[in-house]
Amino acid sequence: MSRLRSMLVILPLALVTLTGAAPWRSLPSCVIGRFADITATDAQGSIVGATDPSDWGCLGTQSSAPADVSPGPPTHFCFEPACPNPSSGEVRLSFTVPRASLASITLYGQKHGPHSAFVVRTLADQTFAVGQFSLLWDGNDDAGARVPPGLYRAVMTTPDGTICGDIEIR
């Protein structure tokens, strides 16, 4: 009986290791759950249609809706909607940093459900100066392979918290 119990403990850990999925409790909270809906944008970044209220936005404001980035130094960490979205090519991710800070931009995929997220690509994990920044995601994973069509979650992690948004790759 104890051997069976040991196998029941070891087998799930082995599966996580083999499939590359991170233990779900170690993931940013916005990565846990079903990836669904996008805030559609054109190539210039203009929102086309309805916004997904759980996507994008700024930390430290009352609204989670995408904010217009005003001229001058930024006052909040903001993660603008990816553009174009959906995309079959490159996707631009724009964000603001209000003070010199460590920040990361990571893209996640899902294998089989809400607790199966895994890192697809880390675009940045560094200290940024105050300002506005843009990064391009070429639709490839960290190994350089093209990702399959589907929904991916972009995550900006900062000292003040985390902002997420979904991207559809066609």
Cis amide bond preceding 74, omega within 30: no
Query: What angle is formed at CA 127 by the lines to CA 124 and CA 133, rounded to 5 degrees?
Result: 60
Q: Domain 22-169: give its CATH architecture.
A: Sandwich (2.60)
Q: What is the pLDDT of residues 33-77, one digit of tens each?
A: 888 889 999 999 999 988 888 889 999 875 544 555 556 789 999
Q: What is the pLDDT of residue 157?
A: 96
pTM given for the model:
0.80
The stretches in the chain having pLDDT less than 70 are 1-26, 62-71, 113-114
End-to-end CA distance of the chain: 49
The whole-number pLDDT of residue 12 equals: 40
DSSP label of 80: P
pLDDT value at residue 114: 62
**Cis before 28 (ω within 30):** no
Instruction: Give me the pLDDT at residue 18, please.
Output: 37
Q: Which residues contact residue 103 at a Cβ distance below 8 angstroms, ignoring those fewer than 6 apart?
A: 77, 95, 97, 124, 126, 127, 128, 156, 157, 158
**Two tokens, residue 60:** 């430290």
Q: What is the DSSP code string of 105-150?
A: EEEEEESSSTT-EEEEEEEEEEEE-SEEEEEEE-SB-TTSPBPPSE
- In terms of phi and psi (left: phi > 0; alpha: psi -120 to 50; beta: otherwise), the region of 45 is left
Residues across the chain: 170
The predicted structure's pLDDT at residue 3: 57
> Which amino acid would we find at residue 16?
V
- Amino acid 28: pLDDT: 82
pLDDT at 33: 81
**Rounded CA gap, 128 and 101, in Å?**
6
